[in-house]
């Protein structure tokens, strides 16, 4: 008995002089041994108990000796102000930090753009060129289909519209992020954007938007007067699109009107007019194509969209999404065929169009709408759909 009293006194002294190691604390908070009934039902401690550790004696299992070699014969009961401790995990892995998601690989923006300019490049989505491709392809289709039979399209116009696509897409992203900054910080995919994360202020964004629009104006002024008016009228769509998700389940249709304006503008830049028989089917095809790829894209955010209260075709179509986008895909291919027929494109156009139809069918049939990564992969693959259609128009025009 004297030995036990001495051991208890020594343990009290050590408890007062130094904190317990984390593994020992985890062990001591674990459920008491059935052989220690006194430890299983400890009454509410008195105020005095808040100033000391209460000790019951029992034989410590051998497994504890690895992390508490000097606590072989004791078990410490903590006073009531440690009641939250029961919420801690006592498994060995609980002391390990939670595994963090691996950061995305660096892009060319991270490697080549100066650090001060990097937030603006990210704001314009220069690190994600797929949006520029999707905006540029309808322009390229239209310019090429407007070329004279047997001739290449106007290379200067292709270059101007390529630069314009970069600028207009960047301006659209700036407007979108300015208006959506209170939504973006609640959505997992967008919370790292410059405004949502606080890297840029709204006033800096407005200044950058003015710079983008000024450069875009420089490109627009190189077109004919008919194209200038038609191009300037697209700004209404660009500035109002970000608001559509607040009012309608069809913001993707409105995006189609915006993103495919180049189908009208490219023809007008060459012909100084519009031919409805060729251009309206081409414009309709672009809108239907946008409804396919942007509905797939919207499925990445459907859970977050429900939480913040914004709308999309992904939420509107739900489990019927593949039926809906199959219909839009068929309408897209049919409209492209009609436009090519009315423009008297040569026979090579139709094999390429068939390949584009197969690519679109592959997207729709294989996309896993509940898998964000797969939705993004299918969305990005639409640059190849646009390239196939462009190649078909080019070859069809050269042999017509």
**Using one digit for the tens of pLDDT, what is the confidence trace for 331-381?**
999 999 999 999 999 999 999 999 999 999 999 999 999 999 999 999 999
pLDDT at res. 206: 94
Residue 330: helix, strand or coil by DSSP? helix
* Residues 202 and 178: beta-carbon distance below 8 Å: yes
Residue 171: name the closest of 199, 207, 139, 195 by CA.
207
Give the CA dihedral 103, 107, 112, 113, nearest 10 degrees: -80
Q: Which residue, 54, 92, 51, is CA-closest to 74?
A: 54
Residue 105 is predicted with a pLDDT of: 75
Q: How many CB atoms lie within 10 A of CB 371?
A: 13
At residue 4, the pLDDT reads 54
Closest CA to 154 of 230, 54, 223, 63: 223
Rounded Cα distance between 13 and 52, Å, is 10
Q: How far apart are the first and last CA of the chain?
A: 109
Distance of CA 209 to the CA centre of its chain: 22
Residue 288 vs residues 23, 44, 57, 146, 293: alpha-carbon distances, Å: 61, 70, 77, 21, 9
Locate all alpha helices (DSSP H) within the chain, ordered by sequence: 2-17, 22-28, 37-40, 108-112, 118-123, 130-145, 155-184, 194-197, 202-220, 225-232, 234-244, 251-259, 261-271, 276-298, 302-308, 313-317, 321-342, 349-366, 372-380, 382-398
Splitting the chain (400 residues) into consecutive groups of 10 residues, what average pLDDT does each group show?
Answer: 60 58 43 41 42 39 40 38 34 39 70 88 91 96 96 95 94 90 82 87 93 94 95 92 92 96 96 96 98 96 88 95 98 98 96 98 96 96 97 94
pTM for the whole thing? 0.73
Distance CA 280, CA 288 (A): 12
* 184/304 Cα distance (integer angstroms): 10
Give dist(CA 75, CA 368) in Å, integer: 54
pLDDT digits (tens, 9 = 90+) for 276-325: 999 999 999 999 999 999 999 999 989 888 988 899 999 999 999 999 99
CB-based contacts of 9, cutoff 8 Å, min separation 6? none
CA neighbor of 186 nearest in space, from 306, 70, 65? 306
For 32, the token pair is 């008491």
Q: Which CATH number fits domain 110-399: 1.10.357.140, 3.40.50.620, 3.30.70.3460, 3.40.50.720?
A: 1.10.357.140
- CA 337/CA 244 separation, integer angstroms: 30
- Residue 16 has a pLDDT of 63
Rounded CA-CA distance 279/285 in Å is 10
Burial 301-326 (b: 16+ CB within 10 A, else e): bbebbeeeebbbbbbbbeeebbebbe
* CA separation for the pair 156, 141 (Å, rounded): 15
Report d(CA 138, CA 293) in Å as an integer.
Answer: 14
DSSP lists the bridge partners of residue 54 as 77
Q: Which of 238, 322, 332 is nearest to 282 (CA)?
A: 332
Domain boundaries, the chain: 110-399
Residue 357 CB coordination number (10 Å)? 20
Alpha carbon distance 315, 181 (integer Å): 21
The answer to whether residues 118 and 195 touch, using CB atoms and an 8 Å cutoff, is no
Angle of helix 261-271 relative to helix 130-145, nearest 10 degrees, comes to 40
Structure confidence at residue 2 (pLDDT): 57
> Of the candidates 245, 109, 250, 242, which has an alpha carbon nearest to the alpha carbon of residue 174?
242
**Rounded distance, CA 331 to CA 400, Å?**
25
**∠ CA 385-125-178, rounded to 5°:** 120
């Amino acid at each position: 008995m004297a030995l036990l009293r001495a051991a208890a006194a020594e343990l009290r002294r050590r408890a007062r002089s130094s904190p317990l190691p984390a593994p020992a604390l985890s062990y001591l908070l674990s459920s008491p041994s059935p052989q220690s009934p006194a430890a299983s039902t400890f009454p509410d401690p008195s105020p005095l108990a808040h100033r000391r550790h209460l000790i019951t004696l029992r034989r410590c299992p051998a497994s504890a000796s690895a992390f508490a070699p000097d606590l072989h014969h004791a078990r410490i009961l903590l006073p009531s102000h440690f009641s939250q401790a029961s919420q801690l995990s006592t498994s060995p892995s609980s002391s390990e930090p939670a595994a963090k998601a691996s950061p995305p690989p660096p892009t060319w923006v991270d490697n080549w753009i100066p650090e001060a300019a990097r937030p603006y490049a990210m704001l314009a989505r220069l690190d994600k060129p797929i949006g520029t491709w999707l905006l540029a392809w309808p322009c390229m289709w239209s310019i090429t289909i407007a070329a004279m039979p047997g001739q290449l399209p106007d290379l200067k116009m292709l270059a101007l519209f390529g630069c314009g696509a970069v600028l207009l897409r960047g301006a659209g992203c700036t407007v979108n992020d300015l208006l959506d900054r209170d939504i973006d910080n609640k959505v997992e995919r967008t919370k790292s954007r410059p405004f949502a994360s606080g890297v840029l202020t709204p006033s800096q964004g407005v200044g950058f938007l003015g710079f983008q629009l000024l450069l875009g104006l420089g490109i627009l002024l190189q077109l004919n007067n008919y194209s200038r008016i038609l191009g300037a009228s697209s700004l209404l769509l660009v500035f109002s699109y970000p608001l559509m998700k607040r009012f309608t389940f069809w913001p993707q249709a409105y995006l189609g009107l915006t993103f495919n304006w180049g189908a009208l503008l490219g023809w007008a830049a060459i012909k100084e007019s519009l031919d409805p028989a060729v251009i309206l089917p081409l414009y309709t095809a672009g809108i239907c194509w946008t409804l396919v790829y942007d509905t797939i894209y919207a499925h990445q955010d459907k859970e977050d969209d429900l939480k913040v209260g914004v709308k999309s075709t992904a939420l509107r179509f739900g489990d019927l999404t593949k039926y809906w986008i199959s219909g839009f895909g068929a309408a897209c291919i049919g409209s492209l065929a009609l436009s090519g027929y009315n423009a008297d494109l040569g026979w090579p156009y139709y094999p390429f169009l068939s390949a584009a139809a197969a690519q679109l069918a592959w997207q729709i049939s294989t996309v896993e709408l509940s898998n964000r990564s797969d939705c993004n992969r299918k969305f990005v693959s639409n640059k190849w759909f646009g390239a196939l259609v462009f190649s078909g128009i080019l070859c069809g025009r050269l042999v017509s």
